[in-house]
Structure 1
Amino acid sequence: MASKIHNRHDHSYKLLFSHPEMVRDLLTGFVKEAWVEQLDFSTLEKVSGSYVTEDLRDREDDIIWRVRWGDDWLYVYLLLEFQSSEDKHMAVRIMTYQGLLYQDLIRQETFTPSGKLPPILPIVLYNGEKRWTAAQNVAELVERVPGGLERYRPDMAYLLLDEGAIVNDPAWSDQMRNVAAALFRLEHNRDEQDMLAVLGTLVEWLKAPEQTGLRRAFVVWIRRVLLPSRAPEMELPEFTDLQDLHEVHDMLAERIKKWPEQWEERGRQEGRQEGRREERQEAERRALEEKRATVRHLLAFGVLSDEQIAEATGLSVDEIAKLRIEDKH
């Protein structure tokens, strides 16, 4: 089941980041480096997932885009990492995937005008509850040996985007007009009203006809990931007939109004169940005491054996023997 939920999470995110608006906002909003301003985002192009390299062909949690950077292509390798615990050797994985991608680019003879390999930006997008502490450069994982050998130690970093750390940063701005930021805030919403506010903002931002695909991707993610994770016990609406983001927002607004009533009713039901459970326990306690009193009465006469008393009262022979000892003391 956990694997199934993990895959559903990855696939929903992969659907979202298969839209250029998400990749553009991810780079412009969270890669705080000057070269990003030189990218021509109108050239954003998703690279085919049908790789010659079998090691990459079967990967389902990564997405590769390319974008023009002057006369050259820049490749963005986006690894979606959704797991309860971090991978302390992620830097090695990234180094391996980047090497495989370069091998594939060599096979396709995809070089810069100067004949060199194009640059690759490796990004790890992580949404776990705990903050990421694993090494972000493979060099940190390799023992440093003095005397010259350290020159051969690999040195390759990746860009970590830890959603939880981002939205909890004091510098975080809820006013950022950025669809990737909206996704992070939905994932780590403070409460139901905060979730509704972000959804309302997305409805406003993504109302253009050409954004239909991204709106639908958000609907799929909300239905399959956000709501099951944020309100797993709630009686959630069926979205089979909902095709657009504003419909989801409107229905959720109605449903969320009723959630306090549902919680109150659930509390009453649980209270009644607890009361009935206590009543049963008290009745069982009284019945047991009555049986013990009957046993003591029969033991006082000294006519019946422990086995006969057990058969008459329903208590075990051991319990009757224990009562006999207690009475002697």
Structure 2
Amino acid sequence: MEIIKNPHDSLFKRTLGDKEVAVDFLENYLPDNILNEIDLTEIKIAKDSFIDEELEESFSDILYNVSIDGKEGFIYLLFEHKSYFDKMSPVQMLGYITDIWALYDNQTKKKKLPPIIPILIYHGEKKWNYGSRLSELIEYTSEAILEYIPVTL
């Protein structure tokens, strides 16, 4: 009998890999203003994974393609899960987002990159206390300097 090394990874990939479950999850957890922009009837699961070998045991990702406002374009929804506190999670997710954009650009050569909505699923025992935005990790500085720092995540 084989022991499942990372049961949470298997659970997330199998469960959220099902189109109906994914749609139900997104309809229940995404804000209404985001749901109004996304057509979930055409959701597709992307096959590429953007987790490197070092992080493979800590992270599970599923990437979905959806259309935006009926236009040809994509939103990629990136799922992560954590069972421990890690204040660098937004930085790691930014790395995955830039990897997705680089692959997208290489494959499509389109002028614009698609928006990406990252979602962190935390299932630890303690309350998450690090915030959810990259901007929360960066020391406040003047507005002139902030203009050049990617803090919108």
Give the TM-score normalised by the residue count of structure 1. 0.40
Give the equivalent residue in structure 2 for 1:80: 81
Larger radius of gyration between Structure 1 and Structure 2: 1
CA gap 1:57/1:48 in 2 versus in 1, 3 angstroms: farther
CA gap 1:146/1:156 in 2 versus in 1, 3 angstroms: closer
Give the equivalent residue in structure 2 for 1:152: 148
The higher-RCO structure (CA 8 Å, 6+ apart) is 2
- 2-side partners of 1:13 and 1:147: how far apart? 40
Give the equivalent residue in structure 2 for 1:44: 43
- 2-side partners of 1:96 and 1:17: how far apart? 22
User: In the alignment, is residue 116 of structure 1 matched against residue 117 of structure 2?
Assistant: no
Matches within 5 A, 1:161-240: none
User: Residues 80 and 126 of structure 1 are in contact (CA less than 8 Å); yes or no, is this contact kept in structure 2?
Assistant: yes
* SS across alignment from 1:45: strand
- Deviation string 1:78-97 (CA, Å, 9 cap, x unpaired) is 1132x2x2111111111111
- 2-side partners of 1:74 and 1:149: how far apart? 29
CA gap 1:127/1:45 in 2 versus in 1, 3 angstroms: same
Give the equivalent residue in structure 2 for 1:56: 51
- Deviation string 1:241-276 (CA, Å, 9 cap, x unpaired) is xxxxxxxxxxxxxxxxxxxxxxxxxxxxxxxxxxxx
CA gap 1:41/1:141 in 2 versus in 1, 3 angstroms: same
CA gap 1:15/1:147 in 2 versus in 1, 3 angstroms: closer
User: In the alignment, is residue 128 of structure 1 matched against residue 134 of structure 2?
Assistant: no
- 1-side partners of 2:152 and 2:97: how far apart? 10
CA gap 1:33/1:147 in 2 versus in 1, 3 angstroms: closer
- 2-side partners of 1:110 and 1:19: how far apart? 30
User: Residues 51 and 61 of structure 2 are in contact (CA less than 8 Å); yes or no, is this contact kept in structure 1?
Assistant: no
Identical-pair percentage: 26
Give the equivalent residue in structure 1 for 2:92: 93
- Deviation string 1:121-151 (CA, Å, 9 cap, x unpaired) is 1111111121111131111212223373232
- Deviation string 1:14-47 (CA, Å, 9 cap, x unpaired) is 1111111122112111112323134222211110
Q: How many residues align?
A: 145
Question: Structure 1: 5+ residue runs without aligned partners?
Answer: 158-329
- Deviation string 1:161-193 (CA, Å, 9 cap, x unpaired) is xxxxxxxxxxxxxxxxxxxxxxxxxxxxxxxxx
* SS across alignment from 2:141: coil
Give the TM-score normalised by the residue count of structure 2. 0.82
Question: Structure 2: 5+ residue runs without aligned partners?
Answer: none
The code of the aligned residue for 1:146 comes to S
RMSD of aligned Cα (Å): 2.3
Once superposed, which parts of structure 1, at least 4 consecutive aligned residues long, lie more than 4 Å away? none
- 1-side partners of 2:34 and 2:142: how far apart? 35
In proportion to residue count, which structure has more strand? 2
- 1-side partners of 2:129 and 2:5: how far apart? 21
